Amino acid sequence: MTANYGTDDMVEPSMKSDDQLRVKRLLEERRVLNDLAVALGQSTSFQEIYGQIHEHVVQLMDVSSFIISLFDAPTETITAGFVYGEGEIIDPELLPPLKLEAPGKGTQSQVIRTGQPMIVNDLSGPMAELEVQYEFTPEGKVVPGPPTPEEEEVSTKSELLAPMLLEGEVIGVVALQSHRLNAYTEQDRDLLCGIANLAAVAIHNQHLIRRLEATAEHLDQALNQTIEMTARVTEMRDPYTSAHQERVAELALAIADAMNLPETHRKGLRIAALLHDVGKLSVPADILNKPSRLSETEMRLVRAHAESSSEALEGLEFDAPVQAIVLQHHENLDGSGYPAGLAGDDILLEARILRVADAYEAMTSHRPYRPAMQLEAVLAELKDGRGSLYDSEVVAACLELIAGGFTFTLASG
């Protein structure tokens, strides 16, 4: 009877073992790279990106020191972004910026100039060529100069470097160092190149996010300045309501904070408060500044400012219903307000807050037809209007603020 052997049985046991180890290593590398890609996608800062790269690299390679350096091409300057040495993370600012060295000099400079990875099996030669040398002590400190004979045993003896490439341009270098000679292989080199490319994309994306955030912040500042300027223009026509809208916004936001309104609601409320009287630009100045009681016709013109203010905001996009808040800021809880006679929950909460803040500021300020009311009388008016003119919870929050010492930071006219 003839024995039938499979091909596996024709392979030497040592070869089978080597192949199994190689496959196991490749699978582990793939897992780590996949995990790193996910982690980098969730990172929200440069330091988090650097930390994730370091955390995943040490799972696969011998690392006594780990450095991520960033290269600025216009100034030919290399700066440390992340530094790990002798078991701890070190403040990268301890390493001063370095100028790109001449061709053939300095391992980082060579990698940056060529865009190619580098394995250095013995660092004594390349390190001796550097104009400025740095070494990590066992205590984790960064000191200039090559190691002393006593430090030689724990000094870096081999290094692996890979360029961080973005669209063919080197934006930095990932460098690993080991206390062992010949610590890194070509497989390590190829793996670190893949990690460096992931790092380059993550760093680039973080720069884009930062620029977008800066642009958004700039636009937000420009919008705020425009809103505040519009509020001041409105009040320039009516010296008796100078700073009225800003003071109303201040109190309205304080009430919103006391009621724990979300930030998006607060932003919308602030804009609405600063613009709620912009429609008064269409009301004749002599009516706004009239020292006696207004006629019914004049009163209708003044009351129309809520609709005029809302119409002025038509077509403008905000993250909150600013136009509706402005339109509703003279609606009363019992439906007796204007312009639509809305009642209860049909009135936006922000508009109900604005209603109370607007009424409080108006009553405590001087007007052409009356002096400012005494605080006790104002508080009594708010209490009497609870449930009819004003939202009871909003009034309660306002009264608590006043009792706690709230005062306007801007003086009224």
Find the CATH number of the domain harbouring 86. 3.30.450.40
Chain mean pLDDT for the chain: 80
| Inside any domain, residue 218 | no
* pLDDT at site 222: 60
Question: Between 406 and 12, whose confidence is greater?
Answer: 406
For the stretch 311-363, pLDDT in tens is: 888 877 777 899 999 999 999 999 999 999 999 999 999 999 999 999 999 99
In 3D space, the residue among 345, 327, 325, 326 whose CA is nearest the CA of residue 335 turns out to be 345
Same domain, 188 and 309: no
| 148 has a pLDDT exceeding 70 | no
Same domain, 307 and 189: no
The mean pLDDT of 91-101, rounded to a whole number, is: 85
Question: Between 235 and 107, whose confidence is greater?
Answer: 107
- Print the domain residue range for 199: 12-209
In 3D space, the residue among 241, 325, 337, 232 whose CA is nearest the CA of residue 276 turns out to be 325
| Inside any domain, residue 328 | yes
In 3D space, the residue among 22, 33, 86, 21 whose CA is nearest the CA of residue 59 turns out to be 33
* Global pTM value: 0.51
Helix (H, G, I), strand (E, B) or coil at 135: strand
For the stretch 224-274, pLDDT in tens is: 666 665 666 665 556 555 688 889 999 999 999 999 999 989 989 998 998
In 3D space, the residue among 134, 130, 105 whose CA is nearest the CA of residue 118 turns out to be 105
- CATH number of the domain where residue 250 is located: 1.10.3210.10
For the stretch 367-394, pLDDT in tens is: 777 788 999 999 999 999 999 999 999 9
| Inside any domain, residue 224 | no
Residue type for position 167: E
* Rama region for 145: left / alpha / beta (φ>0; ψ in -120 to 50; rest): left
Same domain, 152 and 29: yes
| Inside any domain, residue 61 | yes
* pLDDT at site 87: 79
